[in-house]
Structure 1
Amino acid sequence: MAEHIDVVVVGAGISGIGQAYHLQTRCPDRSYVILEGRAAIGGTWDLFRYPGIRSDSDMHTLGFGFHPWTDAKAIADGPSIRAYVEETARAYGIDQHIRFRHHVVSAAWSTEDARWTVEATGPDGALTFTCNFLCMCSGYYNYAKGYTPEFAGAEQFAGRIVHPQLWPDDLDYAGKRVVVIGSGATAVTLVPEMARKAAHVTMLQRSPTYVVSRPAEDKVANWLRAKLPGRAAYGVTRWKNVLLGMLFYRIAKKRPEKFKARLIGMVRDHLGPDYDVATHFTPRYNPWDQRLCLVPDADLFQAIKRGDAAVATGTIERFTPAGIRLASGEELAADIIVTATGLELQLLSDVRFSKDGVPIDLSKALQYKGMMFSDVPNLAYTFGYTNASWTLKADLVATYVCRLLNTMKKRGLRQATPQNSDADMATEPFVDFTSGYIQRAEHMLPRQGARKPWKLNQNYALDVLALRLGSVDDDMVFSNPGPPPGSLAA
């Protein structure tokens, strides 16, 4: 027997908890359930347990718009973020709607019934749910495994190889020589934290990334909190940080060379004139072609200056019993190697979708407003910004879903389907981003169009206009009236 619920939300991370809050606030007459494949709330912030795990966005924008972040630290550690998400779910009774260890396998849309049939596996076996609307808040990567390239000689290494996504509880790195492979957000977090206990930590990168330091605490936010009511202070800080982020992004895209010189100059200011910034901290790409790496209070640079950590730039020839040999011939001694080599992108948790018995190939679809797909009814997904906090976009998606639900109810229609009427419209890749996890998965991603509402906005202000204030009818077809009142099918 299938259990029917008005809205099924997949995922109990930041996106899913936010979607649930808006559903029960804006659509209080709709029932909902959150299906969470893991055993806990928090998504990314429950999964990742590596040393130093923290946000790479400020918590005034990564936090929920409806539930202020009140800690003094704006760049927060993972356990604090996890506790904040859990506390939010409890505060609004959202935790009572979560079914843990429920892994969604497939979702089939029936036009005749105007509903999805969702198949899942639970603690006691297979389960079936039906729903009128499906919200995929499951993140964008494979939770079961990270991305690790094939390294020649890896089986010969005498020490231990670990990936940050599956950090072992029993790993003792005190007094050990550690090599961290990678230069992204995970690597720049791990290196200074592990350097506190390890004998020495080397960050081994194939090519440099832009690394920017900012204070862990937002002094303006803390001052405002002392002067204004909590929600008012939080709202002002949130918009301050949103607007500053948009300004810096715009400058970076408009004047990339100047912006690049400034970023590299700041690194030089931290490390001094004698450090080889040109080799180790000067990327070959322009700022925001990939995400900038944030380090709070210059902790990475401080570790390098103390001599507890170092950066090596080069390509790996092979692993050896004692460490890693580079193509240059240099040998890096290691007792532990950490492969901070990235994520394996997974669109909508690899759920199998179908429509009226025909499989849906999302790679052939166009994304709609960065949250739905062409010709796929009553399905929304959350994919955050590449140039700002994830939660900003998640919040807008959640409120737009509620607008759609309320519009369908008002019009007596059960189906909302994005439909592109311009067959000749040019298309572009799903997202303009050169990060490896995006490039590796480009073949399986939907595309975007050359005009609104099919073109992705990497801009919070534009999305506020489109999703919170804009029309719900632009290239959206509302259809499928319900059965007449009093009929047997009603």
Structure 2
Amino acid sequence: MLSEKLEATYSFDVVIIGAGPAGLNSAYRLKTQLPGLTFTVLEGRDDIGGTWDLFRYPGIRSDSDLYTYGFTWHPWPFAKPIAEGHLIKSYLKDSVSRHGLSDSIHLHHKVIAADWSSKSQRWHLVVNHDGETKRFQARFIVLGAGYFDYQSPMKVEIPGLEGFAGKVIHPQFWPADYDYSGKKIAIIGSGSTATTLLPALAEKAARVTMVQRSPSYILRVMGRSGRSSWVWNYLSSSFRSFYQRLRHALMQALFVAFCHYFPARARDVMRKLTVSQLPEWIDYDRHFSPRYNPWEQRMCWDVNGSFFEALRTGKAGVATGRIETVTDGGIRMEDGSTVDADVIVTATGINMKIGADIDLRVDGERVVWGEKLAWNVTMIEGVPNMGFMFGYTNAAWTLGIDNAITILIRLIKFMECNGYASVVPRVPKEVKADTVRLFQLTSTSATRHEDTILPRGVERIFLGQQSQPDAPESPDGEHGRGAALGVVASNAPVRLVHDEPPAARPVLRSPGRLRERREVAEQARVPPDATPRKSGMTSSSARKYEPKARPCSRRTRAT
């Protein structure tokens, strides 16, 4: 536990950890919806972008359409619904610049530890800034650092790999300016990374072979959005953005629902679509017929048919089965076939991790993610004043993180209106804890370590999410009721702790009771300690971390 006597150098109402899409979206929402609160964004890397700054392998692109993946407050401006990684990073930088978020973001600030103090009702953070240790305090923290390990990919035992005479590369750490022209390349894996790499590498390589243990579904999608002249020439840009976002969201939701409710028919459709694009010498049943139904794992996208085109040219191929061993010059399969290779790319998946390696504690007691339950996929059981941004798996990831920060902001508004210092989700004793998985997919990356690194949900109360539910009407209200693929949660009680604890602490239960409390709160005296301060900074040097031109803080009424 961090010492209570340590005086923090920097103090904010909210500290956002991570400057990827989740962190940037959280920063904008806080700036515009809670202008009276101070906040800062701490990013451990040397640039913003998160995923789009880390991954730089050939062909890196989105696997969700960018009309729904992009921010609602800064719509995706291009006619390409699927775009390359560098273009997405440029879009994120433009979002930061246009909406005045630059002054709030601080790079090379890696959060090492975070400890909640019930005594001070504050988070105490230890931050490494280029080797120098700095200390921050915050009333709230928001984890927007993603769901995978940035330092190490998922490790898979591949027999004989250490004896390979050529070069071994993992896509997460693709070497800059690596020239693979004229080389024979074997890609181990069959997920979205592998199917993206194959056509990109085939442009310059002598031969590219995707070595897969079992097949995945691969769906051809268009790389450019169809532009009907009346939409693009006569409607405003804001309406065009709304139209494209709605169109792509509906198409995705309908397709996922079709796969979910009619799996046999969906398999037939995928078979016909795939067979029509395969060259005659590649057997569909062996190489492209997965053992699972469509959308039980996230579907791979083939932009403009480039994957199947590479197969048809003969410069690329597929080998399916188990690897017996890696030899000095390639890969030998258990069926006796061989794959010659000068380069092996291990596209075996990401190593999932929530919490960005932060030593997270509550009053000195370490938080073990795998032992916790998630409330509204926004907060963690028993952890006060902390939101974690976790997106959707069957829709654009950013739709989920935007819903999460919306829930958190509404909760903070309610607390500000009523003078509460902290909030902590707890599962009522009378609720039977029938847990469900937070990540509703069956891929190896999603299931390998989920019991230890991911929180779980309680059915009907604390639930994992797949597709977009409606935002709640109140911090303790229900959302997603009746949505075909959405969350059916959550009127779970949320315990609020007051700066000066009253005799009976309220428990949020229903929107009706919430309205009654709001009316009473307007007439009640709020203790001075419940009013957020402008910055609470304890040194003049802290001013560089405070966003410029911030309005004076005052209590924000819940809306």
TM-score (norm 2): 0.84
Note the residue ranges of structure 1 that are not aligned, 5 or more in a row.
none
Match of 2:331 among 316, 324, 338: 324
Specify which of 427, 443, 451 is matched with residue 435 of structure 1: 443
The alignment status of 1:61 with 2:78, answered yes or no, reads no
Does residue 295 of structure 2 align to residue 252 of structure 1? no
Contact 2:420 2:496 in 1 (8 A): yes
The equivalent position to 1:193 in structure 2, one of 167, 188, 200, is 200
CA offsets 1:158-184 (integer angstroms, 9 cap, x no match): 110000000001421101111111111
Deviation, 1:66, is 0.8
**More displaced, 385-394 or 469-478?**
469-478
Backbone CA RMSD of aligned residues: 2.1
- Whether 1:460 aligns to 2:468 is yes
Residues 102-251 of structure 1: matches in 2 within 5 Å?
Answer: 102-220=109-227, 224-251=231-258
2:81 pairs with 1:74: yes
Match of 1:451 in 2: 460
The yes-or-no answer on 1:9 pairing with 2:16 is yes
Q: Secondary structure at the match of 2:14?
A: strand
Partner in structure 2 of residue 481 of structure 1: 499
Secondary structure, in 3 states, of the residue corresponding to 1:461? coil
Identity %: 36
CA distance in 2, matches of 1:401, 1:461: 15
Contact 2:393 2:465 in 1 (8 A): no
Q: Structure 2: any 5+ residue segments left out of the alignment?
A: 1-6, 480-489, 501-525, 534-559
CA distances 1:431-463 after superposition (whole Å, capped 9, x unpaired): 2221111211122122111113x1223231345
Shift in Å at residue 263 of structure 1?
Answer: 1.0
Q: Against the structure 1 CA distance between its residues 76 and 100, is the aligned structure 2 distance closer, same or farther, given a 3 Å change threshold?
A: same
**Hey, what's the Cα distance between the residues in 2 that align with 1:459 and 1:486?**
40
Q: Counterpart of 2:226 in structure 1: which amino acid?
A: K
1:279 alignment counterpart = 286
Counterpart Cα distance in 1 of 2:298 and 2:166: 32
Matched residue SS, 2:40: strand
Name which of structure 1's ranges 235-244 and 187-196 shifts more when overlaid on structure 2.
235-244
- The structure with the largest alpha-carbon Rg is 2
Taking structure 1 as reference, are residues 486 and 314 closer, same or farther at Cα in structure 2, changes over 3 Å only?
A: closer
Change (3 A) 1:475 1:197: same
Residues 362-400 of structure 1: per-residue CA shift (max 9 Å, x gap): 221111111211121111111111111111111111222
The residue identity in structure 2 corresponding to 1:373 is I
- Structure 2: which amino acid aligns with 1:53? I
How far 1:280 sits from its partner (Å)?
A: 0.9
Contact 1:119 1:128 in 2 (8 A): yes
Aligned equivalents of 1:473, 1:202: Cα separation in 2: 51
Q: Distance in 2 between matches of 1:97 and 1:456?
A: 31
Query: Does residue 303 in structure 1 map to residue 302 in structure 2?
Result: no
- What amino acid does structure 2 have at the position aligned with 1:94? L
Distance 1:15 1:151 in 2: 34
| Compared CA separation, residues 124 and 274, structure 1 to 2 (3 A) | closer
